[in-house]
Amino acid sequence: MTPTVVIGLGGTGKEILIKVRRMIVEAYGSLDALPIVSFLHIDTEQNAKVSEPQLVLKQDISLRPAEQVWAKVEDAKAILNKLSAYEYLAEWFPSQLKGTDSILAGAGQIRALGKFAFTINYQAIKTSFNNAKARIVGHEKFMLDRWGVQLDKGVNIFIVCSLSGGTGSGMILDLAYNLRDWVPLSDLPQSSAYLVLPGAFSGLGDRVVANAYAALMELNHYSRGDSRFESQYSASPSDRISTQSSQDIPFNFCYLVGNSNDKVTFPNLGAVLEMVSQNVFLDFSSGFSQYKKLVRDNIRKQWASPDPLGYPQSFISFGLSSIQFPVERVLNACAARLAGRIATWWANPTPAPTAMRDVIKTEILPGLRLAESDNEHQFLDGISLGDNMKPYSKEVADWVAATRKRRNDLNIPFENLQRFILVEQEKYNPHFNDSDTDPRRWSDYFQKMWDNLNRLMPQKRRELRETVYKIIEDRFRGPKFARQFLEVLMEVLAEYRSRFDQDRQKEWLPRERSAANALQVLIKQIDDHARQFLLLNRKGVIEEDLKGIMQALESLYVSKVEVKARTLGVTLIDALREEIEQLLIDLVAFERVLETLRSQFLDKEQT
């Protein structure tokens, strides 16, 4: 599961929020039992009524005051009479609406009033969202203890509304782009919008269609790669969409939801909203979300580029259906005959070897390209691999050799050696800059190592999981072997982690400082010796100085690479240990299921 904030705009948004809250109570017993989900409702009407009962299993599922923002505008007339004083409003507010007195009971199906209400209540909306986001943080232990669930990293944000009213269609784009600014990239945010199309609101007049058409035109425009969304929300320069966010598309995933397809038409609006609510609930509560992510990942490349006419293809839709079949009939016919044998086969009781640590170090870790010893550094080399598939420590050695050769080829005079070395170092030094807290702004070598880490973490977690699956499937190993393998592997990785920290602190950082100090002394020394024309064995002394400088340069930059590799290596180890913890949880669940199944199948076979 991923911590999630669900935001509803307008009346439709509130209906969906209440339905999702109902499903949580039905599945988990209470809203507090799933603290990684928070809600926020933004509306221009206070306490809008909903059709969904707000008492479920004797629990009140209505929205709390902290979960609601009433985006009211009591003094609209006073503001609009002096519109020229509010430049950030005057640049877009329609002159036809300057007679608006207030916005207290809805936006009147007028999109501009929805945007106006969002702008006036910008700070309240921002604060309420930040509070909603804060409510879903810090529940990892609770979710693991209560539900046996290891939380995924990141934050899911769902925005639900219709495009037919004034509130939702007027606020949706401003909210979308502000969310990109309010949630830092380090939180790994992923936004998904569920936008209900006007077909579900038949019989409510032409304006619902006009609103949806206008909103879709804007959405289509800002989903193009060459557009920018620019808006300001107060006189303060900070209350505006940042340049970076303005160039992005509104949402990571945008669902357009109608009430019909070529097979079925929903009888009423409630059925459409129920479907949207079910989809949202399934996304953060079941394995269905993994399937959905897989499908979206498969088509993401296709929607990243426009169609032949230049229009964006980033809009998607969905439908839900169920299949019913005679479970008892299938179980009675097949389970007693086959399932008992399969369960016994899966529970393969083959004893694990006594030398598991040797098996891990000599067989399994080398197969995963994660072996680490005095003579082999698959783990660290994988992180420090350059674009030419060569570890950066080897790149440094090649650079030193090339520098030495360049000096010989150019026949640099002794008195120019200091300048030559300083120039070469100045050209090479920018490869090793990591002063910025954002790894994306590191130098090319370190950024490549960061990219390697981010590629290796999911890859090695996946490969480790696949290895465990193969062990369980292996007739000569099985679950018992898998458990011992994971427990011993956890110890081995802890040893790796300790060794990386010790090597970094006690060997490579001191070596880096020592090399830097030696380099400083030698560079001055070679210049001093070059100026001493009567120095005994002057050439030999200077060549020895140069040799020391080359060694110091190599030691300095290799140390930087090794320090960074071990720092990032600890992060990779932590990711692998997280995966092991999850695998152990999964293995316990698997063994319980097997034991339960074997018992059930035995009873069924006997009866």
Reported as a single tens digit per residue, the pLDDT across 482-519 is 999 999 999 999 999 999 999 999 999 999 999 999 98
Write down the pLDDT at residue 324.
41
Query: What is the mean pLDDT of the segment spanning 338-354?
Result: 71
41 near 17, Cβ under 8 Å?
Answer: yes
Reported as a single tens digit per residue, the pLDDT across 120-158 is 999 999 999 999 999 999 999 999 999 888 888 999 999
Write down the pLDDT at residue 486.
93
Name residue 157's beta-bridge partners: 5, 191
Q: Distance between CA 175 and CA 157 in Å, rounded?
A: 11
Q: Distance between CA 590 and CA 580 in Å, rounded?
A: 15
Q: At what angle do helices 10-28 and 269-283 cross, to 10 degrees?
A: 50
Asked if pLDDT for residue 12 goes beyond 80, the answer is yes
Question: What percentage of the chain's residues is helix, strand, coil (to nearest 5)?
Answer: 60, 10, 30
Question: Could you give the 3-state DSSP secondary structure of residue 469?
Answer: helix
DSSP 280-337: HHHHTTSTHHHHHHHHHHHHHHHHTS--TTS----EE----------HHHHIIIIIII
Write down the pLDDT at residue 453.
92
Tokens of 183: 């949630």
Reported as a single tens digit per residue, the pLDDT across 163-205 is 988 899 999 999 999 999 999 999 999 999 999 998 878 766 7
Asked if pLDDT for residue 113 goes beyond 70, the answer is yes
How far is the CA of 1 from the CAs of 4, 88, 150, 289, in angstroms?
A: 9, 40, 7, 9
Q: Distance between CA 131 and CA 134 in Å, rounded?
A: 5
Which residue has better confidence, 49 or 9? 9
Q: Which domains does the chain have, with CATH numbers?
A: 4-71+111-316 (3.40.50.1440), 356-590 (no CATH)
Q: Distance between CA 5 and CA 66 in Å, rounded?
A: 13
Write down the pLDDT at residue 332.
58
Reported as a single tens digit per residue, the pLDDT across 447-474 is 999 999 999 999 999 999 999 999 888 8
Q: Distance between CA 600 and CA 607 in Å, rounded?
A: 11
Write down the pLDDT at residue 505.
92
Asked if pLDDT for residue 304 goes beyond 90, the answer is no
Asked if pLDDT for residue 329 goes beyond 60, the answer is no
Write down the pLDDT at residue 328.
47
Q: Which residue, 264, 269, 267, 281, is CA-closest to 321?
A: 264
Reported as a single tens digit per residue, the pLDDT across 414-445 is 888 889 889 988 999 899 898 888 988 899 88
The percent of residues in the chain predicted with pLDDT above 90, rounded, is 43
471 near 485, Cβ under 8 Å?
Answer: yes
Name residue 7's beta-bridge partners: 40, 159
pTM, two decimal places? 0.54
Tokens of 53: 């009962």
Write down the pLDDT at residue 334.
61
Q: Which residue, 180, 301, 163, 185, is CA-closest to 249?
A: 180
How far is the CA of 484 from the CAs of 357, 369, 471, 497, in angstroms?
A: 10, 21, 11, 20
Q: At what angle do helices 509-531 and 538-606 cross, to 10 degrees?
A: 160
Cα-Cα-Cα-Cα dihedral sign, residues 513, 519, 522, 527: negative
Reported as a single tens digit per residue, the pLDDT across 203-241 is 667 788 988 999 999 999 998 878 899 899 988 888 888
| Chain mean pLDDT for the chain | 87
Write down the pLDDT at residue 4.
94
Single-letter code of the amino acid located at 124: A
Question: Could you give the 3-state DSSP secondary structure of residue 193?
Answer: strand
Reported as a single tens digit per residue, the pLDDT across 38-92 is 999 999 998 888 888 888 888 899 999 999 999 998 888 888 888 888 889 988 9
Write down the pLDDT at residue 517.
93
Reported as a single tens digit per residue, the pLDDT across 261-300 is 888 888 888 889 999 999 899 877 666 777 777 777 777 7
